[in-house]
Structure 1
Amino acid sequence: MTGQPEPRDLLMTAYRVLGRSLNLHRNAGAAVRLAVPALARSAVLVLVLDQQALWWTAGGTDREGIAAPAGLPSWIRSRLTETDVIRLRPVPFGRWALPGGTEHDGHGAVVQLSCSYQCRGVLLLLRDPDQPAFTAADQELAAEFAASVSRAVTAALLYRDQVQLAEQLRVALLPAPLPSVAGIELAAAYRPAREAHRIGGDILHVESLADGGALCALGDVCGKGIEAAVAGNRLRKSLRALQPFTSQPLDLLNLLNDETFDPDGADATQFATLLIGVVRVVPHGGALLRLAAGGHPPPLVVRRAGTVQVQHIGGMMLGAEASAKFAEAVIWLAPGETCVLYTDGVVDAEGGPLGAAFGEQRLIALLTDYAGMPAALVAERIEQCTSDWLNGADHDDIAVLVVRAPHPQDAA
């Protein structure tokens, strides 16, 4: 064809252009535009996936569309279902129906794509009646070009499925919304380390109890990303399964450790720090929080006077020993008082003018300023101040759970 580029130039351009993106529609549109006029007067790419037919055209008017496979012209459907090893077939002179209700009067070639990953496809290369027929060299070039298109389509479909899988996994691993518990305020903040994936290894779990109050857990699985998130989700599921048998925090920690400990394990995700608590309303106002700890940073208790008490509990990390020892403490919250549970991603957050850790003392100072404030406001301020301190720097998973005994004046 007059004015067509050298075969090597076309293939190098296809390699460069089709390798720029993992977007299916962008690559498909680029493929048909590259084929015109280098290989044909009109090019059509047809893909069948997910029980739908997608098509793109170039030459004359660039178009794309979607339809049921049964709506494709019969001659295209027959090419899509061919299973023999001959991938390129000539298209004789004639008037050929195209997707979208248009037609082309001429001849050309049809190439079956080799993108077998959840997809069938063909590339139609059509010339006008006054143009020369495809030579052996043209056919070889068309086949190589179609192979580049096949690779681009396959890569785009793989990427699409990976993105969908990651989103499904993210939704499944996100902490559930906090329940509403009569007489107790609950609020949380959650920020994974790998925010592009929005999947973290911190454990944040709260569920209401049939006899009143709530069971809550906050922890940190060693490691980051999907592996840590899966391990944390496994602990949450185990906790939910064990809860009908006992709601004693210390018993629950021991049972979870029995499941987690693996003497032959080498993965970091078998280790976790964890706080498990049961909070219940106290008659005449206030709340009682019974906490069991396994190597987790100490809770901070914000009293009505604005003082902050560091509640050291101790205990060993889960998964470290079969006979790990855990510790327990009981915290009484007067009306308006708060207990803040957090993971080490808060205090270890590095930033500020000197790149220092946010630290326990800054967190205590922040809680002093917000003594008596609603739980939701406290959780929001901790997340915001930590984020400001990081100033966009990399960080560990961050999780905060705030438990507050409402003050009667809050309802006024």
Structure 2
Amino acid sequence: MSARTPAVAPAPALLTAVFEAASEPMVLCAAAGDVVVMANAAARRLLPAARPGDALPAPLPAGGADSFQADHDGRRLYGMRRRVDGDHYAWFLRDRTESAALEVERSRTAFLAEAGRRLSASLHVRRCVRTTVELAAAHLAEAAMVVLPPRRRQSDWIRLLPGRPAEEGTLREPTLGEVPGLLEALGGFPPIPSRWLDPGQAPPWLVPAGFGPVGALLVIPLPGTAEPAGALILARCGPGATFTAEDEGLARVFAARAGAAIAAAMLYREQVDTTTVLQADLLPPELPRPDGFELAGSYQPAGDGMRIGGDFYDVFGPSGGATDTVIALGDVCGTGPEAAVLTGKIRQTLRALRLVRTEPAAMLTVLNEALLQSARQPRFVTMVVGSVTRADHGRVRLELASGGHPAPLVLRADGRVEEVPTSGTLIGVLPRTVVRPASAELAPGELCLLYSDGLTEARGGPAGTEQFGEDRLHQALAECRGMPAAATLDRIRQLVSDWVHGGGSDDIAMLAVRAPARTPLSLRGGGAPTTSPYVIAARRGDRRPRSRP
């Protein structure tokens, strides 16, 4: 048998040296009385009061707790308790200050990222404000309220508490001064620190019933572009509630992002309102219902997002002693807003010329001079202007003048399609324009069509590149014999839409003048009854037939 090496017990000095050399903070305690027996160097740096023979220093808990987590002297400490023998136990400590700060920073970064994503998802003012109070109430305070800048001496507001539905209302301008710091925030002044605001001065209406006393109040401006977009009010409940410097810093960063989103939504709303007002005078007019003939118009802009463009039509009824009705249809060079602006100028010029009872050919001559004198850049227009009057025996007479525009078409009662022989030079190009007017007379049931070249130049067909063309237009118009004016335009528009297969096309404008057909015998009480869909529609008083022929 081999001899065994006898066990060597370590000296107490060696155990003490090992205990001191440990990098993990450790405190050895006696179970009786919870007294500190020994604390290594790492533990003494965290807990200077951990001296042998003294009671457990804060934040070490007595009474057999197995762990703790607490803030001590600006540090975030975590401890675990382990029994050593029957009479002793040890606390193993960890300093989690940096990891806790990193976790807080991660949480704030995630919050700001979520705020940026949600706030940028909409350009609707109310939705942006609602999102702002939702985010603020969930992450910054127990109650959040956004007050918008005063308009017409009152301000809109939205308030939200977690777990409660949002509340909305308005505040009269004198009431805004009841909230400490609110007028300064709405005026764009720097935010006032929460410690300078007395929560006791908050008016009762600031928070809903059941919230409790306001313990901490923070009012922050929502920065906009040229002026503030509003103010953010944050409130915390209870006498011990506070906003730390870190809380205020986070709230200011959030307020900057929320203010930018609300300001962008406000600017978008103003632009939409302005565009709506401007478009009102540029949209096709509501056509009058003159005695003795029918009028129908159709306009389809080139862009899906645009309601206005370069093609237009207008009708000016009798005025100033004149008994005729003036019609006009034109095509401005280009598309979009610039063409629409020029369209508005042309229509206003024609309206003014109508008031002085100018003839169609003279209208085009004066318009040519006006465009040459006022155009910022070379732009021209092609158009047809006509005078419509009632003639004898249900006939309608048209005096038409053209400036570089496709000739109007006349649909005769027997289905023939004729061109009105009027022509002229482009309007707004040459110093002297040449206009060759012509007249046309419509018998009962006959129709005159004015149209822009976007109709004939619409590309589609089997190959997708072929123009609709004049021949197809003549054929389509001939097939509309006997139809009312509105139904004729609907039919042609549908044929062109089918031709382009939903593809893009230029602006298309159409204007139709139709002499009313004589009343059929069946409608006078004699003759065989008719089943024509247009006669049935006329009996019902509808504008359109119930089915297509």
**TM-score, reference length from structure 2:** 0.69
Pairing of 1:177-188 with structure 2 (within 5 A): 177-188=286-297
Aligned equivalent of 1:222: 333
Higher mean C-alpha displacement, 154-163 vs 176-185:
176-185
**Map of 1:39 onto structure 2:** 140
Looking at CA atoms only, which structure, 1 or 2, has the larger radius of gyration?
2
Task: Normalising by structure 1, report the TM-score.
Answer: 0.91
Aligned pair in 2 of structure 1 residues 116, 50: CA closer, same or farther (>3 Å)? Answer: farther
What is residue 381 of structure 1 aligned with on the other side?
491
Task: Say if 1:119 and 1:190 are closer, same or farther in 2 by CA, change over 3 A.
Answer: farther
Aligned to 1:255: 366
- 1:243-272 CA distance string (max 9 Å, x none): 2333311111101101011498424xx310
Letter in 2 for 1:173: L
- Select which of 356, 375, 378 maps to 1:245: 356
How far has the Cα of 1:309 moved from its partner? 1.4
Identify the match of residue 347 of structure 1 among 439, 442, 456.
456
1:398 to partner: Cα distance: 1.3
Q: Are the aligned partners of 2:315 and 2:325 in contact in 1 as well (CA < 8 Å)?
A: yes
Deviations along 1:349-368, one digit per CA (max 9) or x if unpaired, are: 22343213222222211111
* 2:151 is the counterpart of 1:50: yes
User: Does the residue aligned with 1:110 lie in a helix, a strand or coil?
Assistant: strand
Matched, 1:398 2:508: yes
Which stretch of the first structure deviates more once superposed, 97-106 or 293-302?
Answer: 97-106
Unaligned runs of 5+ in 1: none
The CA distance in 2 between the partners of 1:203 and 1:407, in whole Å, is 28
Distance 1:180 1:386, change over 3 A: same
The yes-or-no answer on 1:23 pairing with 2:103 is no
Q: How does 1:5-404 map to 2 (within 5 A)?
A: 6-51=107-152, 52-60=154-162, 61-70=164-173, 72=175, 74-76=177-179, 79-81=182-184, 83=187, 85-90=189-194, 91-94=197-200, 96=202, 97-99=204-206, 101-102=208-209, 104-105=212-213, 106-115=215-224, 121-129=230-238, 133-209=242-318, 210-262=321-373, 265-267=376-378, 270-355=379-464, 356-404=466-514
Distance 1:34 1:324, change over 3 A: same
- 1:389: Cα distance to partner? 2.9
SS at 2:394 equivalent = coil
Distance 1:305 1:173 in 2: 37
Q: Distance in 2 between matches of 1:208 and 1:58?
A: 56
Deviations 1:294-334 (A, max 9, x none): 11112111111101113343311111111121221111222
Q: CA RMSD in A?
A: 2.6
- C-alpha distance in 1 between matches for 2:157 and 2:391: 66
- Residue correspondences, number: 409
CA distance in 1, matches of 2:348, 2:230: 43
- Structure 2 gaps of 5+ residues are 1-99, 525-549
Provide the rounded CA distance (Å) in 1 between the counterparts of 2:226 and 2:301. 32
Give 3-state SS (helix, strand or coil) of 2:234's partner: strand
Query: 1 CA distance for matches of 2:139 and 2:317?
Result: 67
Rounded to whole Å, the distance in 1 between the matches of 2:133 and 2:493 is 49
Larger RCO, structure (CA 8 Å, separation 6 or more): 1
1:145-195, Cα deviation, whole Å (9 max, x unpaired):
111111011001001111111111121211221222221211111122234
Displacement after TM superposition at 1:116 (Å): 6.1
